[in-house]
Structure 1
Amino acid sequence: MSVLASFYFLQMKPEDNYIEINKNSWKNILIIFVLLASPLLLFAQRIEKHNSGEIINWKEFEINNNKWGTYKIKKGTYDQSIFLENDMPGWRWKTPGKSYGVLGYPMIFLGTSAWYKLNEIKSDNYFKNLEEIKSFNVDYKTDLKVDDKKYNLAFDFWLHNSPKVAFETIGAEVMIWEDYNKFKPFGKKQGKLTTSNGQYEVYTGKIFKKELNKGWDYIAFVRLNKRRSGKLILMEFINYMKEHNLYKNNSYLSSFEFGTEILTSTGEIKILQYEVEIK
């Protein structure tokens, strides 16, 4: 006999030829229904993806399982996955523990990929004209659990010298390091920026990729008082770069990203809040 049929049977009166269902019966039936349905509901509320480059759409963003550096691993295995659970995104990772450089940058992505080929672009495809941005703000909150090894928690955005966004038109990569451990940025320290929300050391350098036969400027703002939640006024960073001639006029923004550069650490991050406002 089924569970529901059992409840009907228990409510039968000997003197009657019908079944009476009282209030307690309805409560019991509802409890059984919820218990039976719960695994399905939990399954429906969780998505996880393990393959490199896989994407989960979330609000106006994409959660990207970027494993760009795993080709450098010579020994051991590396696991990295992105997930969305009860509308809360995040990612987790486990490295071989040896230093092979940056293995991945799982991230929240907004905009247009910087990595198109120029001959594939038929019309302007930039995300924002940097000169036209008047307001650029971020508010974020994370729950990060990570061991005492190399990683960072950083924003990353790409500037191009053309409205046609492609790797050939990259002029500069800009990073803002909010948290980091046993890991220093590329380049040399050039100065310090004091913002409304904290101080940052400024590093600059030139990156050249032989496999692409292409180079670009690298600028990193490294926060002195490390944090995992907070607010940023991006125009303070952009204005600093403009005043110090760190990017060319008529630059175009392809994408704005937030993620963890992973080297030797193992950990998990949950994004409790993430808001980007660009006007």
Structure 2
Amino acid sequence: MARLRAILVAAAVGAGAALVAVSAATVAHADTQICTQYGSTTIQGGKYVVQNNNWGDTTTQCINVTGTGFSVASASHNKAQNGAPGAYPSVYAGCHYANCSTGSGLPMAVSNSQFNSIATSVSMTYPNNGSVYDASYDIWFDPTARTDGQNTGAELMVWLNHTGSVQPVGSRVATVSLAGGTWDVWYGNSGWNVISYVRQSATNSISFNVSSFWNDIVNRGYGQRSWYMTSVQAGFEPWVNGTGLAVDNFTYSVGGGGGNPTPSPTPTRTASPTPTPTSGGGGGSACRVSYAVQQWQGGFTANVTVANTGSAAVNGWRLGFTFPGDQRITNGWNATVSQSGAAVTATNLAYNAAIPPGGSTSFGMQGTWTGSDASPTSFTLNGSACATG
């Protein structure tokens, strides 16, 4: 059914979080309540910003801020479901109208090799009180390293759940399987590209690498690899009521850590052959591998770190391991990853072939599972066994 696109262009469903400036952040304590229209505060030492962001309504909305997210304490929205929502209460990492969290590394160029390792997760609570809303990520991209004002590149929305008859901006253009789910892809334009992934089967939690969705967007021609990601936000767009909606836990990390990454130019990738894997005097056995996994029902992402604990450089590497479960890899980054049955091989790219003594390199994978997502317990580097942990 057609929507009132004139309203959407003016009000930008899913884009309201960026239409107005927010107030300066203050230090939050558990269960701090915010009722001011654009009030915000920080949690976890400034790592994340929580914002009320009642941008599309004149009624009062109050949120209770916790150490890991927030809940909507009271709301009385009653917006037409074929128009724009009333608000976007949310928690985020990055910059939103000059209100920036600390340690996110954002804005970050999509071409930066660290971008592929950016992971986020959220768990949510949905009330059974007749509220009409979408529960969604709002992830912003700009052609410049913008920290303030309206982003003009692309808005990536990831809808975990929605009620009523609400729909994203634009129209449905495709269906894809990503991040452990099947999604309807919607595209519209509100002065910037709005790409929404609506999960066909609702969920209250998800963990994913941002690049898995962004690569799909670029392949469809809606985004550019020369752009910058400016913020990763998770929350709710309420049309009716909204009381009781809650982000129970939100995480954002770069390279499996979440510290303070330093954006740097992407290493130049050449067409030169991959070096033949060799090891110095320490041999391939002088290595340690750590395997960090984030999983949800039916899907997972994993970050694998390979450390050279020997005294000589590793020049070209090939890591092998076997899944003890029934995992199937769907994509990887920072390595060429292949799978045959349960056996997996990851081979360096041109720019990360060398691992100096005492150094390490990391790569990531995304995949699916049915019966078991048990982590592998043994690894080989260039044919020799590695320590784990």
Question: Structure 2-normalised TM-score?
Answer: 0.51
Match of 1:67 in 2: 54
Residue 63 of structure 1 aligns with an amino acid whose one-letter code is: V
Give the distance between the partners of 1:245 and 1:172, measured in 2 at CA. Answer: 11
Match of 2:243 in 1: 267
Match of 2:133 in 1: 151
Q: CA deviation at 1:179?
A: 0.7
Q: Any residues of structure 2 matched to 1:160-199 within 5 Å, and which?
A: 160-167=142-149, 170-182=152-164, 183-199=166-182
User: Cα deviation per residue 1:93-150 (whole Å; 9 max; x = unaligned)?
Assistant: 422535263110000021112x46xxxxxxxx95211221121222222222142242
Q: Cα gap change, 1:169/1:237 in structure 2, threshold over 3 Å: closer, same or farther?
A: closer
The answer to whether the 8 A contact 1:146-1:265 is kept is no
Q: Cα gap change, 1:139/1:165 in structure 2, threshold over 3 Å: closer, same or farther?
A: closer
Q: Any residues of structure 2 matched to 1:95-244 within 5 Å, and which?
A: 95-99=76-80, 101-113=84-96, 115=97, 127-132=107-112, 133-167=115-149, 170-182=152-164, 183-207=166-190, 215-244=191-220
The answer to whether the 8 A contact 1:194-1:200 is kept is yes
Q: Cα gap change, 1:168/1:273 in structure 2, threshold over 3 Å: closer, same or farther?
A: closer
User: Cα deviation per residue 1:37-71 (whole Å; 9 max; x = unaligned)?
Assistant: xxxxxxx7532110011112111101101011115
3-state SS of paired residue (1:189) = strand
Quick check: 1:55 aligned with 2:40? yes
Q: CA deviation at 1:223?
A: 0.6
Give unmatched runs, 5+ long, in structure 2.
1-28, 99-104, 256-389
Q: Cα gap change, 1:198/1:131 in structure 2, threshold over 3 Å: closer, same or farther?
A: same
Q: CA deviation at 1:79?
A: 2.7
Identical-pair percentage: 17
The answer to whether the 8 A contact 1:62-1:108 is kept is yes
Residue 90 of structure 1 aligns with an amino acid whose one-letter code is: S
Give the distance between the partners of 1:195 and 1:87, measured in 2 at CA. Answer: 26
The answer to whether the 8 A contact 1:56-1:83 is kept is no
More helix by share: 1
3-state SS of paired residue (1:154) = strand
Give the distance between the partners of 2:77 and 2:94, measured in 1 at CA. Answer: 32
Q: Cα gap change, 1:47/1:169 in structure 2, threshold over 3 Å: closer, same or farther?
A: closer
Q: CA deviation at 1:167?
A: 3.7
Q: Cα gap change, 1:89/1:266 in structure 2, threshold over 3 Å: closer, same or farther?
A: closer
Q: CA deviation at 1:185?
A: 0.8
Residue 239 of structure 2 aligns with an amino acid whose one-letter code is: L
Q: Cα gap change, 1:233/1:94 in structure 2, threshold over 3 Å: closer, same or farther?
A: same
Give unmatched runs, 5+ long, in structure 1.
1-43, 72-77, 117-124, 208-214
User: Cα deviation per residue 1:202-245 (whole Å; 9 max; x = unaligned)?
Assistant: 111111xxxxxxx1111101111111122223221011112111
* Bigger Cα Rg: 1
Alignment coverage as a number of residue pairs: 214
Q: CA deviation at 1:252?
A: 0.7
Q: Any residues of structure 2 matched to 1:248-259 within 5 Å, and which?
A: 248-259=224-235
Q: CA deviation at 1:81?
A: 1.3
